[in-house]
Amino acid sequence: MTIAHTVSELIGNTPLLRLQKLDTGPCELLLKLENQNPGGSIKDRVALSMINEAERQGRLAPGGTIIEATAGNTGLGLALIAAQKGYQLILVVPDKMSREKIYHLRALGAQVRLTRSDVNKGHPAYYQDYAKRLAQETPGAFYIDQFNNPANPLAHETTTAPELYAQAEGKIDAIVVGVGSGGTLGGLQAWFRQHSPETEFILADPAGSILADEVEQGSHGEAGSWRVEGIGEDFIPPLARLDGVRRAYRISDAQAFDTARQLLKTEGILAGSSTGTLLAAALRYCRAQTTPKRVVTFACDSGNKYLSKMFNDDWLRQQGLLQRPSTGDLRDFIA
């Protein structure tokens, strides 16, 4: 394809980059650059799939209203496609999310309703409960419900997984993923179970999320809080298929931010905070191996949304994550 006719055609078929400069132990570490999707994240694939499926099922009429609860990236994907196809879009977004994401959503024509980040599922202000209620109250609205929508993992089962496998020439020993809605993990596992059952799945989880506990112990306590955006949960997302995950790594915000910054400095990839979590876990996994393995992880979204946050030394200092004045060399304050 040389000339695309809609921006939707530019979603997917993202490049796969072999990391060269970071210490990957005996392993080859490949990064799938989902930050290169037109909306800037892996969620473009899912947004397209869920809108297409709703149209196919006759649940979305021309000019109709789409409602979703989203940390931002699904919203950006939905806003991109809704604008192309002429749908109204209302997004309920927790207020901890970066301003850049919210301005971007509004610029795409979406209506953004901010809600509290400090409440859990079951509270009326919790972003998913709020969106569900809004959808019930809005006549003719279609609630995307990415946490329960089978077209979410389906996007990864039908596009991300086979692309990755073909790019890696049919040899992938392990895939390191994070879980937000669980669509990526669930969809990839569905495909790999069929076509490459020996591929292991490894969870990268922000410290404070309950998902790593669930993988390791089959149970979990109360969730804490974390600043990494897009992954980690305080409940078990039904689409995630956590039972297929071999092991989990808990990554602190400081480690995630530091790793994302190292990725930019060493390999030239500007990716977001969840990528920092995934990459930190992938590096830990790689360095713990005794035999060479081919490992894949994802640059889930672009880092330009976080320039005023984790790429900003003043913000890191305010968050207590940068202890002394920066000399410009991150290794100074990690040590």
What is the binding site for ligand PMP (CB under 6 A)?
A: 41, 43, 71, 73, 178-184, 229-231, 272, 274, 300-301
CA angle 75, 103, 229 (to 5 degrees): 55
Minimum distance from CB of 323 to ligand PMP (Å)?
A: 27
Minimum distance from CB of 78 to ligand PMP (Å)?
A: 12
Minimum distance from CB of 61 to ligand PMP (Å)?
A: 27
Residue nearest to ligand PMP (CB): 230
Minimum distance from CB of 9 to ligand PMP (Å)?
A: 22
Minimum distance from CB of 63 to ligand PMP (Å)?
A: 28
Q: What is the DSSP annotation of 23-88?
A: --TTSEEEEEEGGGSTTSBTHHHHHHHHHHHHHHTT-S-TT-EEEEE-SSHHHHHHHHHHHHHT-E
d(CA 190, CA 154): 9
Cβ proximity to ligand PMP: between 65 and 277 the closer is 277
Catalytic residue of the set 21, 32, 43, 293: 43
CB within 8 A of 180, min separation 6: which ones?
Answer: 71, 230, 231, 232, 233, 237, 274
Cβ proximity to ligand PMP: between 8 and 49 the closer is 49
Query: Which residue(s) pair with 271 in the sheet?
Result: 302
Is residue 10 within 8 Å of residue 36, measured between CB atoms?
Answer: no
**Residue 43 annotated to the active site:** yes
Cα distances from 211 to residues 46, 61, 66, 177, 202, in angstroms, run 22, 37, 29, 12, 12
DSSP state, residue 122:
T
Cβ proximity to ligand PMP: between 300 and 333 the closer is 300
d(CA 47, CA 90): 14
Cβ proximity to ligand PMP: between 82 and 180 the closer is 180
Element (H, E) at 176: strand 174-177
Cβ proximity to ligand PMP: between 179 and 333 the closer is 179
Minimum distance from CB of 156 to ligand PMP (Å)?
A: 7
CB within 8 A of 189, min separation 6: which ones?
Answer: 201, 241, 244
The residue among 327, 275, 321, 265 whose CA lies nearest residue 301 is 275
Cβ proximity to ligand PMP: between 298 and 333 the closer is 298
* Token pair belonging to 146: 């990415």
Active site amino acids: 43
